[in-house]
């Protein structure tokens, strides 16, 4: 597939809207679902409650760089999409379905999982960035997934265990929220999805889930939709955290409070790291270099981690190859990183233990 170029996103969006209607329903997951795409083998795996239930052959980017790697939320689903000046139908390179993923906070119209008008390309490296599937199979997948499903794309091994970033995607949540301004409910956690209805200021709603900077709520008619957190009083609480938050976009706003409408106190380049103090599932509370308390959205930053690259890696008590092995980790495991000591990553294990792993087996 050809990915939508930024210059053409608005045009493509308008053309899509001219050929399709609003998706019938956005729904919370009765079960947890996750997607894995392995660019090395060109297979897509659909997980349900931690088990693989479907496996599909796919096509990915012509070069390694074209299809992004990482964990991204699926934010918009479209039946019978248009592409540029090609209407829905057998000649459309997107096939019968578009499942758009948000890469670095975009609106889900640039990268996606979709069908194809070239079935011979499946299993090869053929696209300009998206993930192609056979049209009958993408239709099946479309019906099995929901907005908010996390999509993990990588070039490592696949072992039937989903090892993407667990913080990404729709998470069940309860409680109530209230709108702080007139706003809209959307079919997915992005303005690249579709408006369901207008929601008036001071409207109390039941929260059913959280995905990035959007809260999933039950609307007055019983339908579920997503509302941008900046338009809500969410009531989410911060929990103490440690390590570092690392900026993942070219330029990120570091804000005075956990809201996208809050004042920007500084801007940070990709790769910048901040001491992590707390996390509420949508925002990191961090300390800046000059000691100020500030906030980074999950859309522009993630916890600083190392990923195991060896089949099995030894985790040691100190930064020495002679130190006792305190744990072992399989390839693909991610661990909170605290810094470097010589040739070792200083890490924090899930139980809070400080340990070390050599740079040749993790990055």
**C-alpha angle 148/227/248, rounded to 5°?**
55
Select, from the ranges 51-60, 100-109, 257-266, the one with the highest average predicted confidence (pLDDT). 51-60
Q: What is the mean pLDDT of residues 115-140?
A: 97
- At 61, list the tokens: 């980017």
Catalytic residue among 114, 298, 345, 358: 114
Q: Which of 104, 283, 110 is nearest to 210 (CA)?
A: 283
Q: Which of 162, 167, 88, 93 is nearest to 130 (CA)?
A: 93
When pLDDT is cut at 50, 70 and 90, the band that residue 294 belongs to is: very high
238: number of Cβ within 10 Å: 16
CA 168, distance to chain mean position in Å, is: 5
CATH (one of 3.40.50.720, 3.40.710.10, 2.30.30.40, 3.30.1780.10) for 239-303:
2.30.30.40
With a CB cutoff of 8 Å and minimum separation 6, the contacts of 171 are 209, 210, 211, 281
pLDDT of the residue at 30: 52
Domain extents in the chain: 6-154, 171-233, 239-303, 305-358
Q: Is the model's pLDDT at 275 over the cut of 50?
A: yes
**3-state SS track over the chain:** CCCCCHHHHHHHHHHHHHHCCCCCCECCCCCCEEEEEECCCCEEEEEECCEEEEEEECEEECCCCCCCCEEEEEEEEEECCCECCECCCCCCCCCCEEEEECCCCCCCCCEEEECCCCHHHCCCEEECCCEECCHHHHHHHHHHCCCCCEEEEECCCCCCCCCCCCCCCCEECCCEEEECCCEEEECCCCCCCCEEEEECCCCEEEEEEEECCEEEEECCCCCEEEEEHHHEECCCCCEECCCEEEECCCEEEEECCCCCCCCEEEEEECCCEEEEEEECCCEEEEECCCCCEEEEECCCEEECEEEECCCEEEEECCCCCCCCEEEEEECCCEEEEEEEECCEEEEECCCCCEEEEECCCEC
pLDDT of the residue at 328: 93
- Summarised one tens digit per residue, pLDDT across range 189-213 is 999 999 999 999 999 999 999 888 8
**194 neighbors 225 (Cβ within 8 angstroms):** no
User: Higher confidence at residue 321 or residue 5?
Assistant: 321
**C-alpha angle 35/171/106, rounded to 5°?**
65
Q: What is the mean pLDDT of residues 117-123?
A: 97
Q: What is the mean pLDDT of residues 86-95?
A: 91
Q: Is the model's pLDDT at 247 over the cut of 50?
A: yes
| 239-303 and 305-358 have identical folds | yes
Q: Is the model's pLDDT at 116 over the cut of 50?
A: yes
d(CA 210, CA 227): 10
Mean pLDDT over each residue of the chain, to the nearest integer: 88
Q: Looking at the chain, how many residues does it have?
A: 363
130 is catalytic: yes
Q: Is the model's pLDDT at 132 over the cut of 90?
A: yes
Q: Which CATH superfamily is domain 6-154 in?
A: L,D-transpeptidase catalytic domain-like (2.40.440.10)
Domain 305-358 fold: SH3 type barrels. (2.30.30)
**128 neighbors 3 (Cβ within 8 angstroms):** yes
**C-alpha angle 12/187/184, rounded to 5°?**
95
pLDDT of the residue at 125: 98
CATH (one of 3.30.70.360, 3.40.50.2000, 1.10.260.40, 2.30.30.40) for 171-233:
2.30.30.40
User: Higher confidence at residue 193 or residue 15?
Assistant: 193
287: number of Cβ within 10 Å: 14
């Amino acid at each position: 597939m050809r990915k939508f170029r930024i210059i053409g996103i608005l045009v493509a969006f308008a053309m899509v809207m001219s050929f399709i209607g609003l998706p019938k329903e956005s729904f919370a997951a009765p079960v947890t679902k996750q997607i894995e795409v392995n660019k090395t083998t060109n297979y897509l795996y659909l997980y349900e409650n931690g088990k693989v239930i479907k496996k599909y052959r796919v096509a990915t980017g012509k070069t390694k760089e074209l299809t992004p790697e990482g964990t991204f939320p699926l934010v918009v689903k479209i039946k019978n999409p248009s592409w540029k000046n090609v209407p829905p139908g057998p000649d459309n390179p997107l096939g019968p379905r578009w499942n758009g993923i948000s890469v670095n906070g975009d609106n889900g119209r640039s990268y996606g999982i979709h069908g194809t008008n070239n079935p011979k390309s499946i299993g090869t490296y053929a696209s300009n960035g998206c993930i192609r599937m056979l049209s009958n199979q993408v239709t099946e997948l479309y019906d099995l997934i929901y907005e908010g499903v996390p999509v993990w794309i990588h070039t490592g091994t696949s072992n039937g265990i989903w090892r993407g970033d667990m913080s990404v995607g729709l998470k069940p949540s309860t409680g109530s929220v209230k709108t702080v301004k007139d706003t809209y409910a959307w079919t997915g956690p992005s303005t690249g999805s579709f408006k369901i209805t207008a929601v008036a200021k001071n409207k109390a709603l039941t929260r059913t889930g959280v995905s990035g900077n959007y809260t999933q709520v039950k609307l007055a008619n019983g339908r579920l939709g997503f509302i941008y957190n900046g338009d809500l009083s969410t009531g989410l609480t911060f929990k103490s955290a440690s390590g570092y938050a690392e900026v993942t976009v070219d330029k990120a706003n570091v804000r005075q409070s956990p809201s996208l409408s809050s004042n920007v106190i500084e801007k940070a380049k990709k790769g910048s790291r901040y001491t992590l103090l707390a996390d509420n599932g949508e925002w990191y509370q961090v300390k800046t270099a000059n000691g100020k308390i500030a906030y980074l959205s999950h859309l522009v930053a993630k916890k600083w981690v190392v990923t195991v690259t060896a089949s099995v890696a030894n985790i040691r008590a100190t930064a020495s190859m002679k130190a006792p092995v305190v744990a072992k980790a399989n390839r693909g495991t991610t661990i909170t990183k605290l810094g470097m000591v010589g040739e070792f990553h200083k890490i924090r294990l899930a139980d809070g233990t400080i340990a070390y792993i050599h740079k040749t087996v993790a990055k």
